């Protein structure tokens, strides 16, 4: 796979050369057209020895902003799914310890302090799961099934790596997993329109993944799954306690479920 690498800034090289007394961490991200939000994410990880960005086809100023904030930017010429892209980004990093982030995520001050402490004292032979607090339409979501969300985000690439899933990829660890104190603040969709756009994108990928695995469906099942999604999030997971934002989240998520299975049904008919 041919990849193009952007040069590092002199400032970032200076920072890397003066941190040899600590265990180095590479912050790794895959991005596309994130110019409106990427700066907030990158500003929160300026303490890291490296920020490695794999751009999957931006048409805006995302690569330029990343370079200005000290990141090393690589370009992926061919999209083959989230799993392969994330694994490729990890391979491109300089250091074995990886902190994996998305452009709409921000490392909290508490998590940053914990990571700086561990960089001095050392890491265990484990992969670290981190708590994620999600925000929707500008409001922190405390229910809807989004509460108590955790993901493996800090790991050594010698012991862990991403699978090849087209969408909803996961990280596979050959060592035990431990909870890491601190939070990642996840600023999801700033508008319902943006949420719908993402649901269309993920729905198409999800339908392709299900079809490839041999899954088939009916139009009735598409409506049933959408209804169950709403009931589960809004009632069983107490989404109504999140107010209007919770209702909008549950409604749009259920539409995304319907759309995925509707596309799968259309594939069966074609």
List, in sequence order, every residue forming a beta bridge with 150; answer none if it has no partner. 131
Q: Which DSSP state fits 49?
A: S
Chain-wide mean pLDDT for the chain? 91
Q: Are residues 22 and 112 in the same domain?
A: yes
Tell me, yes or no, whether 221 and 169 share the same domain.
no
Pull the structure tokens for residue 60. Answer: 């805006």
Burial call 106-131: b when 16+ CB within 10 Å, e when fewer: bbbeebbebbeebbeeebeebbbbbb
| pTM (two decimals) | 0.84
1-5, 47-51, 74-78, 259-263, range with the lowest pLDDT: 1-5
Last residue of a domain, one of 168, 187, 206: 187
Are 14 and 108 within one domain? yes
Same domain, 198 and 182: no
Give me the domain span that covers residue 200: 192-269
pLDDT in tens, 148-185: 899 999 999 999 999 999 988 999 999 999 999 999 99
Please give the residue that has the higher pLDDT: either 203 or 17: 203
Among residues 145, 160, 187, the one where a domain terminates is 187
Q: Are residues 136 and 150 in the same domain?
A: yes
At 53-66, the pLDDT tens digits run: 999 999 999 999 99
CA torsion, points 148, 154, 156, 157, in degrees to nearest 10? 90
Look at residues 137, 168, 187 and tell me which one is the last residue of a structural domain: 187
> Looking at the structure, do residues 84 and 179 belong to the same domain, yes or no?
yes
> Hey, what are 179's tokens?
């909870």
Clarify whether residues 157 and 222 are in a common domain.
Answer: no
Q: How many domains does the chain have?
A: 2
What is the CA 6 to chain-centroid distance, rounded? Answer: 23
Tens digit of each residue's pLDDT (9 = 90 or more) over 66-125: 999 999 999 998 999 999 999 999 999 999 999 999 999 999 999 999 999 999 999 999
Closest CA to 252 of 186, 200, 185, 209: 200
Q: What pLDDT does residue 22 have?
A: 87
The answer to whether residues 11 and 126 belong to one domain is yes
Going by pLDDT thresholds of 50, 70 and 90, the confidence category of residue 264 is: very high
Residue with tokens 């709403």: 230
Lowest average pLDDT, out of 15-19, 30-34, 216-220, goes to: 15-19
Q: Tell me: do 170 and 210 sit in the same domain.
A: no
Q: Does one domain contain both 126 and 223?
A: no
Beta bridge partners of 28: 52, 100
Do 139 and 214 sit in the same domain of this protein? no
């Amino acid at each position: 796979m041919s990849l193009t690498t952007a040069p590092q800034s002199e400032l970032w090289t200076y920072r890397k050369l003066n941190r040899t007394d600590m265990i180095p961490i590479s912050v790794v991200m895959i991005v596309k057209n994130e110019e409106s939000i990427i700066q907030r994410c990158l500003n929160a990880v300026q303490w890291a020895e490296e920020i490695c960005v794999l751009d999957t086809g931006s048409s805006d100023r995302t690569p330029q902003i990343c370079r200005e904030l000290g990141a090393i930017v690589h370009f992926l010429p061919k999209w083959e799914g989230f799993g392969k892209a994330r694994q490729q980004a990890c391979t491109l990093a300089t250091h074995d310890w990886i902190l994996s982030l998305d452009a709409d995520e921000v490392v909290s001050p508490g998590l940053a302090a914990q990571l700086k402490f561990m960089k001095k004292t050392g890491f265990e032979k484990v992969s670290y799961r981190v708590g994620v607090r999600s925000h929707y339409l500008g409001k922190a979501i405390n229910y809807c099934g989004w509460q108590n969300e955790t993901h493996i985000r800090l790991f050594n690439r010698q012991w862990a790596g991403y699978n090849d899933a087209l969408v909803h990829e996961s990280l596979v660890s050959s060592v035990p997993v431990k909870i890491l104190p601190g939070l990642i603040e996840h600023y999801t969709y700033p508008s319902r329109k943006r949420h719908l756009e993402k649901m269309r994108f993920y729905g198409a990928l999800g339908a392709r993944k299900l079809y490839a695995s041999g899954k088939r469906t009916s139009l009735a099942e598409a409506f049933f799954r959408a209804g169950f999604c709403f009931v589960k999030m809004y009632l069983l997971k107490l989404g109504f306690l999140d107010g209007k934002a919770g209702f909008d989240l549950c409604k749009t998520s259920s539409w995304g479920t319907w759309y995925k299975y509707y596309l799968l049904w259309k594939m069966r008919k074609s």
